[in-house]
Amino acid sequence: MLPHAARTEGRFDPPVLAAAALRHTPCLRVPGFLPAQVADDLHRELLDGVDYERVELADVTRQWRARRPLGDVYLGTMQRKPGWRTPPTVDAALAWFESDAFVTWLSRIAGEQLTFLRPVTAYRMQRGDRLCLHDDMSDPSHAVSIAYNLSREWQPGWGGQTRFGEVTAVTPLETPPDCPIPLQEWHVANESRFVPEFNSLLVIGLDQRYAHGVAEVTVDRPRLALVGIYGRLDQATAPSTTSEEKPS
């Protein structure tokens, strides 16, 4: 078992992983990623404090995403419910996902120099929610996706597993006029499924050869996660606000 991250001098020190680990294991999980108190505070923030908006893409994706300033999917501060007070530990953890220290740690795992693209976003999924398989390669600079899981005591029979596999085919789907992106169906082989694990970080190498998604949630409990995408330093561009991001 890997040790959890320690808090030192205003930052977190994540577990040490092998250099370029994603090249050998393109979807890997780091358990016990943050100190227990920080994980508890983040869980409470996503459960009770974050103000969510509904995101539905036809019948393939259904979930709740943290609301941001009007017209901006990716940037700006996640909105909180009226009267909610975010603890300093949460602010520090969210800022750390944007820090040079975290990007350096992630770059080592990826085996290439990465850059921060946009803040992590909170997602909440409930019974009947799901996320279609996708590759997150709407922008060729996208290199790594992370999903920090905050779902407590999740059981295998509750659905909500992160799906990851090797793409065998991509089929266009009929896209409703009000859908912001063309819908497609990814078919995969050699699929792995990761049951949500509290205080664990899932790191996914992005490539058109792979696709990931979330199986349908089948229980009346919230599936909570913080999701972010990091880019290749030599290719990164400003994020578009016209397409829907898809969490892991």
> Which pLDDT belongs to residue 242?
39
Residue type at position 15: P
Question: What 3-state DSSP class applies to 101?
Answer: helix
* Contact of 154 with 222, CB cutoff 8 Å: no
Helix 36-44 vs helix 88-96: crossing angle, to nearest 10: 100
> Which pLDDT belongs to residue 74?
78
Q: How many residues does the chain have?
A: 248
Sorted by where each starts, the structural domains of the chain and their CATH numbers stand as 6-232 (2.60.120.620)
* Cα–Cα dist 232/87, whole Å: 32
* Cα–Cα dist 231/213, whole Å: 19
Nearest of 233, 12, 194, 200 to residue 111 by alpha carbon: 233
Q: pTM for the complete prediction?
A: 0.90
Structure token pair of residue 167: 């793409």
* Cα–Cα dist 201/173, whole Å: 31
Residue type at position 93: A
Paired residues of 142 in beta bridges: 231
Q: Where are the beta strands (DSSP E) in 76-218?
A: 114-116, 121-125, 131-134, 142-149, 162-172, 184-194, 200-205, 210-214
Q: Is 233 left (phi over 0), alpha (psi -120 to 50) or beta?
A: alpha
* Cα–Cα dist 9/7, whole Å: 7
* Contact of 188 with 168, CB cutoff 8 Å: yes
Per-residue pLDDT of the chain (248 residues; tens, 9 = 90+): 333 444 433 468 888 898 999 999 999 999 999 999 999 999 999 999 999 999 998 889 999 999 998 767 878 899 999 999 999 999 999 999 999 999 999 999 999 999 999 999 999 999 999 999 999 999 999 999 999 999 999 999 999 999 999 999 999 998 888 887 889 999 999 999 999 999 999 999 999 999 999 999 999 999 999 999 999 998 766 554 434 445 55
Q: Is 66 left (phi over 0), alpha (psi -120 to 50) or beta?
A: beta
* Cα–Cα dist 62/69, whole Å: 21
